[in-house]
Amino acid sequence: MNIDFEINIYHEDYHNAGSASSEIKKYLTQLGLNPKFIRKIVISSYEAEMNIVIHSLGGKLKLDIIGNHIILTSIDKGPGIRDIKMALTEGFSTASKKVREMGFGAGMGLPNMKKNSDKFEIKSSPKGTIVRLSWVIE
Amino acid sequence: MKHLVDIHVDRCIGCTRCMRVCPTEAIRIKNEKALLIKERCIFCGNCILNCHKSAYKVYSDSFANLNKHKVNVVILPSAIYGMTKNMKELGGIYQILYDYGFDEVFDLSGVVELLSQKITEYIKQSDKTYILSQCPTVIRLIQLKYPSLLSNLLPFDFPYEIGAKIARKKLSQKYQIKEEDIGISYISECLSNFIAIKEGLGKKKSNVDYVFLFNDLFRNSIDSDQINTSVAKNGIQFSKAGGFEYLSNKNEVLSVDGVKELDEILERIYLNRLDNVKLVEAYSCIGGCVGGNFTIENTFVAKWKVNQFHQTIDESIEYVNQFRHVLNSRDWMFTSEVEALSPYKLSENINQSIVKMNQINQILKQLPNIDCCACGSPSCRALAEDVVNHEKTLDDCYILKRGDET
Ligand SMILES: Nc1ncnc2c1ncn2[C@@H]1O[C@H](COP(=O)(O)OP(=O)(O)O)[C@@H](O)[C@H]1O
Ligand code: SF4
Ligand code: SF4
Ligand SMILES: [Mg+2]
Protein backbone atom coordinates (compact mmCIF):
# COMPACT_ATOMS: atom_id res chain seq x y z
CA MET A 1 0.00 0.00 0.00
CA ASN A 2 1.77 3.18 -1.14
CA ILE A 3 1.10 6.82 -0.90
CA ASP A 4 2.81 9.69 -2.60
CA PHE A 5 2.59 13.34 -2.06
CA GLU A 6 4.57 16.31 -3.45
CA ILE A 7 4.71 20.02 -2.72
CA ASN A 8 6.66 22.71 -4.56
CA ILE A 9 8.73 25.12 -2.51
CA TYR A 10 10.04 28.44 -3.77
CA HIS A 11 13.23 30.31 -3.08
CA GLU A 12 12.83 33.04 -0.45
CA ASP A 13 9.11 32.36 -0.04
CA TYR A 14 9.13 33.21 3.66
CA HIS A 15 5.45 34.00 3.62
CA ASN A 16 4.41 30.39 3.02
CA ALA A 17 7.45 28.83 4.64
CA GLY A 18 6.42 25.94 6.83
CA SER A 19 3.15 25.26 5.07
CA ALA A 20 4.46 22.15 3.29
CA SER A 21 5.42 20.70 6.67
CA SER A 22 2.02 21.62 8.09
CA GLU A 23 0.43 19.68 5.22
CA ILE A 24 2.64 16.72 5.94
CA LYS A 25 1.68 16.90 9.60
CA LYS A 26 -2.00 16.90 8.65
CA TYR A 27 -1.49 13.86 6.43
CA LEU A 28 0.34 11.83 9.02
CA THR A 29 -2.23 12.77 11.66
CA GLN A 30 -5.02 11.54 9.39
CA LEU A 31 -3.19 8.27 8.98
CA GLY A 32 -3.32 7.93 12.75
CA LEU A 33 0.41 7.57 13.44
CA ASN A 34 1.87 8.07 16.91
CA PRO A 35 2.12 11.82 17.75
CA LYS A 36 5.73 11.65 18.96
CA PHE A 37 6.73 9.79 15.80
CA ILE A 38 4.92 12.35 13.65
CA ARG A 39 6.78 15.13 15.42
CA LYS A 40 10.18 13.69 14.45
CA ILE A 41 9.12 13.62 10.81
CA VAL A 42 7.58 17.08 10.85
CA ILE A 43 10.60 18.67 12.56
CA SER A 44 12.78 17.13 9.85
CA SER A 45 10.53 18.18 7.02
CA TYR A 46 10.40 21.73 8.38
CA GLU A 47 14.21 21.93 8.38
CA ALA A 48 14.35 20.51 4.85
CA GLU A 49 11.68 22.94 3.70
CA MET A 50 13.52 25.91 5.20
CA ASN A 51 16.78 24.85 3.61
CA ILE A 52 15.10 24.89 0.20
CA VAL A 53 13.61 28.32 0.92
CA ILE A 54 16.82 29.81 2.28
CA HIS A 55 19.70 28.09 0.54
CA SER A 56 18.41 26.82 -2.80
CA LEU A 57 16.88 28.16 -5.98
CA GLY A 58 13.66 26.28 -5.28
CA GLY A 59 12.59 22.68 -5.20
CA LYS A 60 10.11 20.29 -3.72
CA LEU A 61 9.35 17.97 -0.85
CA LYS A 62 8.11 14.44 -1.50
CA LEU A 63 6.54 12.13 1.02
CA ASP A 64 6.25 8.42 0.24
CA ILE A 65 4.91 5.63 2.32
CA ILE A 66 6.12 2.30 1.05
CA GLY A 67 5.30 -0.77 3.10
CA ASN A 68 6.24 0.11 6.64
CA HIS A 69 8.62 2.88 5.62
CA ILE A 70 8.07 6.62 5.46
CA ILE A 71 10.41 8.39 3.11
CA LEU A 72 10.82 12.14 2.91
CA THR A 73 12.80 13.48 -0.01
CA SER A 74 13.88 17.06 -0.52
CA ILE A 75 15.02 17.89 -4.03
CA ASP A 76 16.20 21.28 -5.22
CA LYS A 77 17.65 22.98 -8.28
CA GLY A 78 20.99 24.07 -6.87
CA PRO A 79 23.41 25.71 -6.21
CA GLY A 80 24.35 22.71 -4.07
CA ILE A 81 26.47 22.31 -0.98
CA ARG A 82 30.18 22.80 -1.47
CA ASP A 83 31.38 20.83 1.56
CA ILE A 84 28.82 18.35 2.88
CA LYS A 85 30.92 17.31 5.85
CA MET A 86 31.17 20.93 6.94
CA ALA A 87 27.44 21.51 6.37
CA LEU A 88 26.67 18.61 8.69
CA THR A 89 28.63 20.16 11.57
CA GLU A 90 26.42 21.49 14.34
CA GLY A 91 26.35 25.26 14.22
CA PHE A 92 27.77 25.61 10.69
CA SER A 93 25.77 27.97 8.55
CA THR A 94 26.26 30.16 5.52
CA ALA A 95 23.00 32.02 6.15
CA SER A 96 23.15 35.78 5.64
CA LYS A 97 22.70 38.32 8.42
CA LYS A 98 19.21 39.09 7.11
CA VAL A 99 18.19 35.43 7.36
CA ARG A 100 19.60 35.15 10.88
CA GLU A 101 17.60 38.17 11.93
CA MET A 102 14.48 36.29 10.88
CA GLY A 103 15.39 33.57 13.36
CA PHE A 104 16.98 31.05 10.99
CA GLY A 105 20.55 30.00 10.30
CA ALA A 106 21.48 28.38 13.60
CA GLY A 107 23.26 25.66 11.66
CA MET A 108 21.25 22.91 13.31
CA GLY A 109 18.99 21.92 10.41
CA LEU A 110 20.97 19.12 8.80
CA PRO A 111 22.23 17.76 12.16
CA ASN A 112 18.66 17.70 13.46
CA MET A 113 17.37 15.93 10.35
CA LYS A 114 20.02 13.31 10.87
CA LYS A 115 19.22 12.96 14.55
CA ASN A 116 15.46 12.70 14.03
CA SER A 117 15.48 10.14 11.21
CA ASP A 118 16.26 6.43 11.09
CA LYS A 119 18.26 6.82 7.89
CA PHE A 120 19.79 9.97 6.43
CA GLU A 121 21.28 10.31 2.94
CA ILE A 122 22.48 13.44 1.21
CA LYS A 123 23.83 14.06 -2.30
CA SER A 124 24.78 17.40 -3.71
CA SER A 125 26.20 18.96 -6.87
CA PRO A 126 25.93 22.47 -8.33
CA LYS A 127 22.81 21.21 -10.13
CA GLY A 128 21.06 20.51 -6.87
CA THR A 129 20.81 18.78 -3.53
CA ILE A 130 18.85 15.69 -2.61
CA VAL A 131 18.26 14.83 1.03
CA ARG A 132 16.51 11.53 1.66
CA LEU A 133 15.24 10.72 5.13
CA SER A 134 13.48 7.53 6.10
CA TRP A 135 11.75 6.03 9.08
CA VAL A 136 10.36 2.65 9.98
CA ILE A 137 6.75 3.20 11.05
CA GLU A 138 6.50 2.91 14.84
CA MET B 1 -24.13 13.33 25.10
CA LYS B 2 -25.40 16.01 22.77
CA HIS B 3 -23.31 19.07 22.06
CA LEU B 4 -23.99 22.03 24.32
CA VAL B 5 -24.13 24.22 21.26
CA ASP B 6 -26.90 23.82 18.74
CA ILE B 7 -28.40 25.51 15.69
CA HIS B 8 -31.82 27.14 15.42
CA VAL B 9 -32.73 25.48 12.12
CA ASP B 10 -35.39 28.09 11.47
CA ARG B 11 -32.78 30.86 11.61
CA CYS B 12 -29.80 29.26 9.87
CA ILE B 13 -29.67 30.01 6.13
CA GLY B 14 -26.64 27.85 5.40
CA CYS B 15 -24.51 30.83 4.39
CA THR B 16 -21.23 29.04 5.35
CA ARG B 17 -19.90 32.02 7.36
CA CYS B 18 -19.43 30.02 10.55
CA MET B 19 -17.87 27.12 8.67
CA ARG B 20 -15.27 29.37 7.09
CA VAL B 21 -14.09 30.85 10.39
CA CYS B 22 -13.89 27.57 12.28
CA PRO B 23 -10.18 26.91 12.89
CA THR B 24 -10.52 23.13 13.18
CA GLU B 25 -12.87 22.21 10.31
CA ALA B 26 -15.56 21.30 12.83
CA ILE B 27 -18.53 22.62 10.83
CA ARG B 28 -20.28 21.42 7.69
CA ILE B 29 -23.40 22.65 5.94
CA LYS B 30 -25.86 19.87 5.19
CA ASN B 31 -29.28 20.41 3.68
CA GLU B 32 -28.58 24.12 3.94
CA LYS B 33 -28.09 24.04 7.70
CA ALA B 34 -24.93 24.27 9.78
CA LEU B 35 -23.88 21.05 11.48
CA LEU B 36 -21.27 20.77 14.23
CA ILE B 37 -18.77 17.95 14.50
CA LYS B 38 -18.44 17.96 18.25
CA GLU B 39 -15.24 15.89 18.44
CA ARG B 40 -13.36 18.54 16.50
CA CYS B 41 -14.68 21.60 18.33
CA ILE B 42 -12.19 23.55 20.44
CA PHE B 43 -14.91 25.80 21.94
CA CYS B 44 -13.40 28.99 20.55
CA GLY B 45 -16.79 30.52 19.80
CA ASN B 46 -15.76 31.93 16.40
CA CYS B 47 -18.85 30.40 14.84
CA ILE B 48 -21.24 32.07 17.28
CA LEU B 49 -19.55 35.45 16.89
CA ASN B 50 -19.64 35.32 13.11
CA CYS B 51 -23.23 34.22 12.61
CA HIS B 52 -25.28 37.19 11.43
CA LYS B 53 -28.58 35.33 11.90
CA SER B 54 -28.20 34.60 15.63
CA ALA B 55 -28.68 30.96 14.72
CA TYR B 56 -26.47 29.53 17.47
CA LYS B 57 -27.94 28.56 20.80
CA VAL B 58 -26.03 27.63 23.92
CA TYR B 59 -27.71 25.52 26.57
CA SER B 60 -26.95 27.34 29.82
CA ASP B 61 -28.62 26.46 33.13
CA SER B 62 -31.92 27.67 34.56
CA PHE B 63 -32.25 29.83 37.66
CA ALA B 64 -34.81 27.37 38.99
CA ASN B 65 -31.88 25.15 40.00
CA LEU B 66 -30.99 27.55 42.79
CA ASN B 67 -34.08 26.42 44.72
CA LYS B 68 -32.45 23.04 45.30
CA HIS B 69 -29.87 24.51 47.67
CA LYS B 70 -29.89 26.15 51.09
CA VAL B 71 -27.13 28.55 50.14
CA ASN B 72 -26.16 29.67 46.65
CA VAL B 73 -22.78 31.13 45.82
CA VAL B 74 -21.82 32.62 42.51
CA ILE B 75 -18.21 32.69 41.37
CA LEU B 76 -17.31 35.89 39.58
CA PRO B 77 -15.39 35.40 36.33
CA SER B 78 -12.22 37.46 36.12
CA ALA B 79 -13.64 39.11 33.01
CA ILE B 80 -15.78 41.16 35.38
CA TYR B 81 -12.82 43.48 36.08
CA GLY B 82 -13.08 44.56 32.47
CA MET B 83 -16.39 46.24 33.38
CA THR B 84 -15.40 47.91 36.63
CA LYS B 85 -12.96 50.77 37.15
CA ASN B 86 -13.18 50.88 40.94
CA MET B 87 -14.59 49.21 44.06
CA LYS B 88 -17.90 51.04 43.88
CA GLU B 89 -18.64 49.70 40.42
CA LEU B 90 -17.68 46.24 41.59
CA GLY B 91 -20.13 46.79 44.45
CA GLY B 92 -22.79 47.47 41.82
CA ILE B 93 -22.04 44.09 40.26
CA TYR B 94 -22.39 42.36 43.63
CA GLN B 95 -25.78 44.04 44.13
CA ILE B 96 -26.99 42.81 40.73
CA LEU B 97 -26.03 39.28 41.75
CA TYR B 98 -27.73 39.50 45.15
CA ASP B 99 -30.83 40.69 43.30
CA TYR B 100 -30.67 37.57 41.13
CA GLY B 101 -30.95 35.53 44.33
CA PHE B 102 -27.38 34.55 45.12
CA ASP B 103 -26.51 34.56 48.84
CA GLU B 104 -22.78 34.88 48.38
CA VAL B 105 -20.44 36.21 45.71
CA PHE B 106 -17.02 34.61 45.45
CA ASP B 107 -14.21 36.73 44.02
CA LEU B 108 -11.44 34.81 42.23
CA SER B 109 -8.66 37.40 42.26
CA GLY B 110 -7.17 36.10 45.52
CA VAL B 111 -7.12 32.52 44.26
CA VAL B 112 -5.59 33.61 40.99
CA GLU B 113 -2.89 35.61 42.73
CA LEU B 114 -1.90 32.53 44.73
CA LEU B 115 -2.08 30.40 41.63
CA SER B 116 0.37 32.68 39.86
CA GLN B 117 2.80 32.25 42.75
CA LYS B 118 2.45 28.47 42.51
CA ILE B 119 3.07 28.59 38.77
CA THR B 120 6.16 30.73 39.19
CA GLU B 121 7.56 28.11 41.56
CA TYR B 122 6.47 25.16 39.43
CA ILE B 123 8.13 26.24 36.19
CA LYS B 124 11.53 26.34 37.87
CA GLN B 125 11.66 22.54 38.01
CA SER B 126 12.75 21.94 34.43
CA ASP B 127 14.07 23.68 31.35
CA LYS B 128 11.08 23.07 29.15
CA THR B 129 8.68 25.68 27.84
CA TYR B 130 5.50 25.45 29.88
CA ILE B 131 2.09 26.40 28.57
CA LEU B 132 -0.44 28.08 30.84
CA SER B 133 -3.48 25.88 31.47
CA GLN B 134 -6.07 28.58 32.17
CA CYS B 135 -7.87 28.61 28.83
CA PRO B 136 -9.76 25.40 27.93
CA THR B 137 -9.52 26.22 24.21
CA VAL B 138 -5.74 26.24 24.47
CA ILE B 139 -5.93 22.80 26.05
CA ARG B 140 -8.35 21.50 23.41
CA LEU B 141 -6.16 22.78 20.61
CA ILE B 142 -3.17 20.96 22.11
CA GLN B 143 -5.21 17.76 22.57
CA LEU B 144 -6.36 17.84 18.96
CA LYS B 145 -3.45 19.31 17.02
CA TYR B 146 -0.34 19.11 19.20
CA PRO B 147 -0.76 16.10 21.49
CA SER B 148 3.00 15.77 21.82
CA LEU B 149 2.92 19.11 23.70
CA LEU B 150 0.61 17.83 26.44
CA SER B 151 3.71 17.31 28.59
CA ASN B 152 4.39 21.06 28.33
CA LEU B 153 0.97 21.96 29.68
CA LEU B 154 0.87 23.13 33.30
CA PRO B 155 -1.12 20.76 35.55
CA PHE B 156 -3.05 23.53 37.35
CA ASP B 157 -6.83 23.47 37.30
CA PHE B 158 -9.00 26.38 36.21
CA PRO B 159 -9.33 29.17 38.83
CA TYR B 160 -13.10 28.74 39.17
CA GLU B 161 -12.65 25.03 39.94
CA ILE B 162 -10.18 25.82 42.70
CA GLY B 163 -12.46 28.65 43.84
CA ALA B 164 -15.46 26.32 43.90
CA LYS B 165 -13.65 23.87 46.18
CA ILE B 166 -12.56 26.65 48.52
CA ALA B 167 -16.03 28.22 48.57
CA ARG B 168 -17.70 24.91 49.36
CA LYS B 169 -15.42 24.27 52.31
CA LYS B 170 -15.56 27.77 53.74
CA LEU B 171 -19.29 28.24 53.36
CA SER B 172 -20.28 24.89 54.79
CA GLN B 173 -18.39 25.96 57.92
CA LYS B 174 -19.84 29.44 57.92
CA TYR B 175 -23.45 28.29 57.56
CA GLN B 176 -22.98 24.97 59.38
CA ILE B 177 -24.56 23.02 56.50
CA LYS B 178 -23.54 20.02 54.44
CA GLU B 179 -21.34 20.70 51.41
CA GLU B 180 -24.02 19.46 49.02
CA ASP B 181 -26.48 22.02 50.38
CA ILE B 182 -24.37 24.68 48.76
CA GLY B 183 -25.09 25.43 45.13
CA ILE B 184 -22.14 26.79 43.17
CA SER B 185 -22.69 28.80 40.01
CA TYR B 186 -20.29 30.37 37.55
CA ILE B 187 -20.97 33.19 35.15
CA SER B 188 -19.05 32.23 32.06
CA GLU B 189 -17.33 34.88 29.99
CA CYS B 190 -16.80 32.47 27.11
CA LEU B 191 -17.99 29.33 25.41
CA SER B 192 -14.75 27.68 26.38
CA ASN B 193 -15.18 27.82 30.17
CA PHE B 194 -18.84 26.99 29.77
CA ILE B 195 -18.11 23.70 28.00
CA ALA B 196 -15.06 22.92 30.16
CA ILE B 197 -17.34 23.05 33.22
CA LYS B 198 -20.18 21.13 31.63
CA GLU B 199 -17.91 18.37 30.38
CA GLY B 200 -15.45 18.35 33.28
CA LEU B 201 -12.23 18.97 31.36
CA GLY B 202 -9.29 17.59 33.37
CA LYS B 203 -11.56 15.93 35.95
CA LYS B 204 -14.42 13.47 36.22
CA LYS B 205 -16.96 16.11 37.13
CA SER B 206 -16.73 19.87 37.61
CA ASN B 207 -16.93 21.36 41.10
CA VAL B 208 -19.23 24.02 39.68
CA ASP B 209 -22.93 23.03 39.63
CA TYR B 210 -24.46 25.59 37.26
CA VAL B 211 -23.25 27.89 34.53
CA PHE B 212 -24.87 31.11 33.35
CA LEU B 213 -23.70 33.26 30.49
CA PHE B 214 -22.14 36.64 31.10
CA ASN B 215 -24.24 38.54 28.58
CA ASP B 216 -27.46 36.97 29.88
CA LEU B 217 -26.84 38.43 33.34
CA PHE B 218 -25.20 41.79 32.75
CA ARG B 219 -25.96 44.80 30.61
CA ASN B 220 -23.49 47.49 29.77
CA SER B 221 -24.47 50.08 32.37
CA ILE B 222 -23.75 49.35 36.01
CA ASP B 223 -24.82 51.42 39.00
CA SER B 224 -22.27 51.95 41.71
CA ASP B 225 -22.96 50.57 45.14
CA GLN B 226 -21.30 50.80 48.56
CA ILE B 227 -20.91 47.13 49.26
CA ASN B 228 -17.99 46.00 51.33
CA THR B 229 -15.89 43.77 49.08
CA SER B 230 -12.23 43.02 48.60
CA VAL B 231 -10.07 42.09 45.65
CA ALA B 232 -6.44 41.12 45.18
CA LYS B 233 -4.58 43.90 43.42
CA ASN B 234 -2.33 41.64 41.38
CA GLY B 235 -4.89 38.91 40.87
CA ILE B 236 -7.09 41.10 38.73
CA GLN B 237 -4.29 41.45 36.17
CA PHE B 238 -4.87 37.86 35.09
CA SER B 239 -8.20 38.75 33.59
CA LYS B 240 -6.37 40.03 30.55
CA ALA B 241 -3.71 38.73 28.22
CA GLY B 242 -0.28 39.83 29.36
CA GLY B 243 -1.24 39.81 33.04
CA PHE B 244 1.23 37.12 33.88
CA GLU B 245 3.89 38.74 31.80
CA TYR B 246 3.21 42.00 33.67
CA LEU B 247 3.72 40.44 37.08
CA SER B 248 6.62 38.13 36.42
CA ASN B 249 10.08 37.98 34.99
CA LYS B 250 9.21 39.47 31.62
CA ASN B 251 12.11 37.86 29.82
CA GLU B 252 10.77 34.40 30.54
CA VAL B 253 7.11 34.85 29.67
CA LEU B 254 5.66 35.04 26.19
CA SER B 255 2.06 36.16 26.04
CA VAL B 256 -0.17 35.22 23.12
CA ASP B 257 -3.88 35.73 22.45
CA GLY B 258 -6.18 34.94 19.52
CA VAL B 259 -6.67 31.45 18.08
CA LYS B 260 -4.60 31.96 14.95
CA GLU B 261 -1.63 33.46 16.76
CA LEU B 262 -1.94 30.82 19.45
CA ASP B 263 -1.78 28.10 16.82
CA GLU B 264 1.37 29.66 15.37
CA ILE B 265 3.06 29.80 18.77
CA LEU B 266 2.15 26.18 19.54
CA GLU B 267 3.63 25.24 16.20
CA ARG B 268 6.85 27.06 17.13
CA ILE B 269 7.10 25.06 20.36
CA TYR B 270 6.26 21.89 18.43
CA LEU B 271 9.14 22.55 16.01
CA ASN B 272 11.52 23.38 18.90
CA ARG B 273 11.77 26.91 17.61
CA LEU B 274 10.98 28.88 20.74
CA ASP B 275 14.14 29.06 22.80
CA ASN B 276 14.51 30.69 26.20
CA VAL B 277 10.80 30.98 26.86
CA LYS B 278 9.86 29.44 30.21
CA LEU B 279 6.16 30.08 30.07
CA VAL B 280 3.71 30.75 27.29
CA GLU B 281 0.76 32.68 28.64
CA ALA B 282 -1.89 31.66 26.14
CA TYR B 283 -5.50 32.69 25.57
CA SER B 284 -7.82 31.85 22.74
CA CYS B 285 -9.70 35.14 22.91
CA ILE B 286 -8.08 38.36 21.80
CA GLY B 287 -7.29 40.36 24.94
CA GLY B 288 -7.57 37.31 27.19
CA CYS B 289 -10.61 36.59 29.35
CA VAL B 290 -11.88 40.19 29.31
CA GLY B 291 -12.30 39.55 25.58
CA GLY B 292 -14.33 36.38 26.14
CA ASN B 293 -17.04 35.83 23.56
CA PHE B 294 -19.92 36.42 26.01
CA THR B 295 -18.54 39.65 27.50
CA ILE B 296 -20.16 42.95 26.63
CA GLU B 297 -17.47 45.57 27.00
CA ASN B 298 -15.15 46.24 24.06
CA THR B 299 -12.02 44.17 24.68
CA PHE B 300 -9.60 47.07 24.58
CA VAL B 301 -11.74 49.28 26.78
CA ALA B 302 -11.97 46.31 29.15
CA LYS B 303 -8.18 46.00 29.31
CA TRP B 304 -7.95 49.70 30.05
CA LYS B 305 -10.53 49.38 32.82
CA VAL B 306 -8.58 46.57 34.45
CA ASN B 307 -5.57 48.86 34.61
CA GLN B 308 -7.68 51.71 36.02
CA PHE B 309 -9.03 49.40 38.68
CA HIS B 310 -5.58 48.05 39.44
CA GLN B 311 -4.40 51.57 40.27
CA THR B 312 -7.24 52.32 42.67
CA ILE B 313 -6.63 49.39 45.01
CA ASP B 314 -4.00 48.60 47.62
CA GLU B 315 -2.26 45.29 47.98
CA SER B 316 -3.80 43.19 50.72
CA ILE B 317 -1.84 40.20 51.88
CA GLU B 318 -4.50 39.28 54.44
CA TYR B 319 -7.15 39.08 51.76
CA VAL B 320 -5.02 36.75 49.61
CA ASN B 321 -3.83 34.66 52.54
CA GLN B 322 -7.30 33.58 53.58
CA PHE B 323 -7.36 31.31 50.49
CA ARG B 324 -3.87 29.93 50.99
CA HIS B 325 -4.23 26.90 53.22
CA VAL B 326 -7.82 25.85 52.65
CA LEU B 327 -6.90 23.08 50.18
CA ASN B 328 -3.93 20.79 49.83
CA SER B 329 -1.65 21.18 46.82
CA ARG B 330 -3.22 18.31 44.84
CA ASP B 331 -6.56 20.12 44.90
CA TRP B 332 -5.07 22.93 42.82
CA MET B 333 -4.38 20.56 39.95
CA PHE B 334 -6.31 18.61 37.34
CA THR B 335 -7.46 15.29 38.71
CA SER B 336 -7.70 13.30 35.50
CA GLU B 337 -5.27 13.09 32.67
CA VAL B 338 -5.70 15.54 29.81
CA GLU B 339 -5.32 13.07 26.99
CA ALA B 340 -4.47 13.16 23.30
CA LEU B 341 -7.47 13.18 20.96
CA SER B 342 -7.50 12.12 17.33
CA PRO B 343 -10.70 13.20 15.59
CA TYR B 344 -8.93 13.50 12.23
CA LYS B 345 -7.87 9.87 11.98
CA LEU B 346 -9.29 8.33 8.79
CA SER B 347 -9.64 4.88 10.32
CA GLU B 348 -8.39 2.74 13.19
CA ASN B 349 -6.07 0.78 10.96
CA ILE B 350 -3.15 2.39 9.14
CA ASN B 351 -3.50 0.34 5.96
CA GLN B 352 -7.12 1.24 5.72
CA SER B 353 -6.24 4.90 6.36
CA ILE B 354 -3.79 4.75 3.48
CA VAL B 355 -6.47 3.33 1.19
CA LYS B 356 -8.75 6.20 2.17
CA MET B 357 -6.00 8.76 1.77
CA ASN B 358 -5.42 7.58 -1.79
CA GLN B 359 -9.14 7.78 -2.51
CA ILE B 360 -9.18 11.34 -1.16
CA ASN B 361 -6.27 12.31 -3.37
CA GLN B 362 -8.00 10.76 -6.41
CA ILE B 363 -11.21 12.66 -5.75
CA LEU B 364 -9.31 15.87 -5.14
CA LYS B 365 -7.91 15.64 -8.65
CA GLN B 366 -11.45 15.87 -10.02
CA LEU B 367 -12.38 18.90 -7.90
CA PRO B 368 -11.75 22.50 -8.97
CA ASN B 369 -9.48 23.23 -5.98
CA ILE B 370 -10.74 26.76 -5.48
CA ASP B 371 -12.05 26.20 -1.93
CA CYS B 372 -15.25 28.14 -2.58
CA CYS B 373 -17.09 26.35 0.26
CA ALA B 374 -20.40 26.35 -1.63
CA CYS B 375 -20.60 22.56 -1.21
CA GLY B 376 -20.81 23.03 2.54
CA SER B 377 -17.35 21.69 3.32
CA PRO B 378 -14.57 24.08 4.34
CA SER B 379 -12.25 23.24 1.40
CA CYS B 380 -12.13 21.05 -1.69
CA ARG B 381 -9.91 18.68 0.26
CA ALA B 382 -12.46 18.56 3.09
CA LEU B 383 -15.18 17.72 0.55
CA ALA B 384 -13.02 14.90 -0.80
CA GLU B 385 -12.65 13.59 2.76
CA ASP B 386 -16.38 13.89 3.34
CA VAL B 387 -17.09 11.98 0.12
CA VAL B 388 -14.75 9.17 1.15
CA ASN B 389 -16.41 9.09 4.57
CA HIS B 390 -19.85 8.90 2.88
CA GLU B 391 -20.94 12.21 4.40
CA LYS B 392 -21.26 13.94 1.03
CA THR B 393 -21.18 13.15 -2.68
CA LEU B 394 -19.46 14.73 -5.66
CA ASP B 395 -22.86 16.14 -6.61
CA ASP B 396 -22.50 18.58 -3.75
CA CYS B 397 -19.87 20.45 -5.77
CA TYR B 398 -21.57 23.38 -7.55
CA ILE B 399 -18.71 23.95 -9.95
CA LEU B 400 -18.71 20.34 -11.18
CA LYS B 401 -22.48 20.46 -11.54
CA ARG B 402 -22.29 23.64 -13.58
CA GLY B 403 -19.76 21.90 -15.85
CA ASP B 404 -22.18 19.02 -16.37
CA GLU B 405 -24.99 21.33 -17.41
CA THR B 406 -23.08 23.14 -20.16
N1 LIG C 1 19.38 22.64 0.07
C2 LIG C 1 20.54 23.27 0.24
N3 LIG C 1 21.15 23.89 -0.79
C4 LIG C 1 22.33 24.54 -0.62
N5 LIG C 1 22.98 24.62 0.56
C6 LIG C 1 22.40 24.03 1.63
C7 LIG C 1 21.17 23.32 1.53
N8 LIG C 1 20.88 22.83 2.75
C9 LIG C 1 21.87 23.21 3.57
N10 LIG C 1 22.81 23.91 2.90
C11 LIG C 1 24.08 24.45 3.45
O12 LIG C 1 24.39 23.77 4.64
C13 LIG C 1 24.48 24.69 5.72
C14 LIG C 1 23.95 24.06 7.00
O15 LIG C 1 22.55 23.79 6.89
P16 LIG C 1 21.69 23.67 8.19
O17 LIG C 1 22.32 22.66 9.07
O18 LIG C 1 20.28 23.44 7.80
O19 LIG C 1 21.86 25.08 8.88
P20 LIG C 1 21.23 26.50 8.50
O21 LIG C 1 20.12 26.27 7.53
O22 LIG C 1 20.78 27.03 9.80
O23 LIG C 1 22.32 27.28 7.89
C24 LIG C 1 23.69 25.88 5.27
O25 LIG C 1 24.09 27.07 5.90
C26 LIG C 1 24.00 25.90 3.78
O27 LIG C 1 25.24 26.48 3.53
S1 SF4 D 1 -23.30 31.65 9.96
FE2 SF4 D 1 -23.61 29.42 10.08
S3 SF4 D 1 -25.31 29.16 11.52
FE4 SF4 D 1 -25.32 31.31 10.91
S5 SF4 D 1 -26.76 31.40 9.19
FE6 SF4 D 1 -24.72 31.11 8.30
S7 SF4 D 1 -24.51 28.87 8.10
FE8 SF4 D 1 -26.23 29.22 9.49
S1 SF4 E 1 -16.56 26.88 18.67
FE2 SF4 E 1 -14.77 27.21 17.34
S3 SF4 E 1 -14.00 25.14 16.98
FE4 SF4 E 1 -16.09 24.90 17.75
S5 SF4 E 1 -17.37 24.76 15.91
FE6 SF4 E 1 -17.34 26.92 16.57
S7 SF4 E 1 -15.68 27.85 15.37
FE8 SF4 E 1 -15.40 25.60 15.28
MG1 LIG F 1 18.64 24.90 7.81
Which of B272, B273, B357 is closest, CB to CB, to A30?
B357
Q: Could you tell me which of B89, B107, B64 has the C-alpha nearest to residue B218?
A: B89
Neighbours of B264 (CB within 10 A): 12
How many residues does this entry show for chain A? Answer: 138
Interface of B with A (CB under 8 A): 145, 147-148, 267, 270-273, 340, 342, 344-348, 350-351, 353-355, 357-358, 361
In which residue ranges of chain B is pLDDT below 50? 1
Instruction: Give the fold, CATH level 3, of B346-406.
Output: 3-methyladenine DNA Glycosylase II; Chain A, domain 3 (1.10.15)
Please report the pLDDT score of residue B1 as a whole number. 46
Its pTM stands at 0.94
H-type alpha helices, A2-135: 19-31, 35-55, 84-87, 97-101, 109-116
Classified as helix, coil or strand, A66 is strand
Task: Answer whether residue A124 shows pLDDT above 80.
Answer: yes
Domain ranges of chain B: 1-58, 63-332, 346-406
The distance in angstroms from the start CA to the end CA of chain A is 16
Which of B271, B272, B354 is closest, CB to CB, to A3?
B354
Please report the pLDDT score of residue B227 as a whole number. 83
Please report the pLDDT score of residue B226 as a whole number. 81
Mean pLDDT computed over every residue of chain A: 95
Domain ranges of chain A: 2-136
Query: Cβ(A11)–Cβ(A65) under 8 Å?
Result: no
- Enter the CATH code of domain B1-58: 3.30.70.20
Measured distance CA(A84)–CA(B31) in Å, rounded: 58
SS3 content of chain B, % helix, strand, coil (to 5): 45, 10, 40
pLDDT tens for residues B89-139? Answer: 999 999 999 999 999 999 999 999 999 999 999 999 999 999 999 999 999
Please report the pLDDT score of residue B229 as a whole number. 86
The distance in angstroms from the start CA to the end CA of chain B is 46
pLDDT band at A78 (very low <50, low <70, confident <90, very high): confident
What superfamily does domain A2-136 belong to in CATH?
Histidine kinase-like ATPase, C-terminal domain (3.30.565.10)
Please report the pLDDT score of residue A95 as a whole number. 95
pLDDT tens for residues B248-284? Answer: 767 789 999 999 999 999 999 999 999 889 999 999 9
Measured distance CA(B332)–CA(B111) in Å, rounded: 10
- The residue among A7, A26, A29, A116 with the most chain B CBs within 10 A of its CB, best to mutate, is A29
pLDDT band at A4 (very low <50, low <70, confident <90, very high): confident
Measured distance CA(B79)–CA(B96) in Å, rounded: 16
Chain B residue closest in CA terms to A4 = B358
Please report the pLDDT score of residue B244 as a whole number. 84
